[in-house]
Structure 1
Amino acid sequence: MALVRWNPWREISTLQSQLDRLFDETLVPATSLERGLLRVPPAEMKETEEAIHLKLEVPGLEAKDLDVQVTEKAVSISGERKSETQAEENGKTRSEFYYGKFERVIPLPARIQNTNVTAEYKDGILNLTLPKTEQEKNKVVKVNLEQSAV
């Protein structure tokens, strides 16, 4: 029987990397790309003077399978990718598709009029136009400048 020197730092390092992997897989949208899986839809946000434009990628779903809820401060999108059942007797099936429920809440940088939101869903891309409230459109911030003594 051989003696092996115990290094507690190695175990802590292993635990740290396992925790990092756990949080990467559940919280960040694109961390599972190495396995070909996306758990939440990736988003792109563009802010103009009049509105916030939000684009979400949700391929493989129909509009009826999506639930989009908008408040003055955030957008919540949820849905479910249902698995297709395949019967195969002698062979094996390998799938890299992700099936199951997903939900993503995106905080907005400005207050919006959630009663005037427009949505368009085409080819797996959901486009939302979120018009800003009048207070946000006219918001001007006064910056006080002081000369520094040199």
Structure 2
Amino acid sequence: MTTTVAEKKQEAKETKPGTALSRDPWQTLGLPSLARMRQELDDLWNKFFTEVPALWSAERADVRWAFDVEDQPEAYVIKAEAPGFEPKDFHIDLRGDKLVMQAKRSEEKKEKGKESFTAAEFYHAMTIPPHVDADKIDATYKQGILQVNLPKTEEGKGRKIPVKG
């Protein structure tokens, strides 16, 4: 007796999870939540590759540079990792209550029979807190770290409130 391909497919469909012919490892455990999680991960993966621009795109890459904002007594201090730049590469603007920090650099190297081009871009915009003295904002760049100091006005420094017993 010979078995047709259609019969083999039907037999595979009827095979109970946990048997040797079962092909889905998520269902062999009998946990539907794992199958659902697998489907969600598959959907996320597919969404990433269809909706997110390619990493090798010629358009501006949306790189997320690490940064930190500290609320110190006298000022807000922003520290951003931006390796590979020079101080002259940065442009920092205050546009109303928006602080825009950006830098661009590109380098072209030509050696015997070889040419290479590298480019990097840094961009971050944020709303500054109220009570910042805009005229005293300053910035430094050392060892790959951009630091922007936003001095507080007297009103922004606050005051201590004693607790009476």
TM-score of the superposed pair, with normalisation by structure 1? 0.57
Equivalent residue of 1:115, what SS?
A: helix
Equivalent residue of 2:155, what SS?
A: helix
What does residue 17 of structure 1 align with?
Answer: 45
What does residue 54 of structure 1 align with?
Answer: 78
Q: Distance in 2 between matches of 1:17 and 1:87?
A: 41
Instruction: Please identify which structure carries the higher helix content.
Output: 2
What does residue 31 of structure 1 align with?
Answer: none
The amino acid that maps onto 1:51 is A
- The 1:18/1:106 distance shift into structure 2, 3 A limit, reads farther
RMSD: 4.1
Residue from 69, 84, 94 that aligns with 1:45: 69
Q: Where do 1:29-108 residues align within 5 Å?
A: 39-71=63-95, 73-87=97-111, 89=113, 99-108=119-128
Task: Return the offset for 1:81.
Answer: 2.8
What does residue 133 of structure 2 align with?
Answer: 113
Alignment pair present for 1:125 and 2:145: yes
Task: Return the offset for 1:68.
Answer: 0.9
Task: Return the offset for 1:103.
Answer: 1.5
Instruction: Please identify which structure carries the higher strand content.
Output: 2
The amino acid that maps onto 2:155 is Q
Q: Distance in 2 between matches of 1:47 and 1:65?
A: 27
Q: How many residues align?
A: 122
Larger radius of gyration: 2
Q: Which runs of 5+ in 2 are unaligned?
A: 14-35, 56-60, 161-165
Task: Return the offset for 1:109.
Answer: 4.1
TM-score of the superposed pair, with normalisation by structure 2? 0.53
Alignment pair present for 1:136 and 2:160: no
Q: Percent identity?
A: 22
Q: Distance in 1 between matches of 2:159 and 2:45?
A: 45
Equivalent residue of 2:102, what SS?
A: strand
Higher relative contact order (CA 8 A, sep 6+): 1
Q: Distance in 1 between matches of 2:100 and 2:47?
A: 27
Q: Which runs of 5+ in 1 are unaligned?
A: 27-36, 141-150
- The 1:138/1:72 distance shift into structure 2, 3 A limit, reads farther
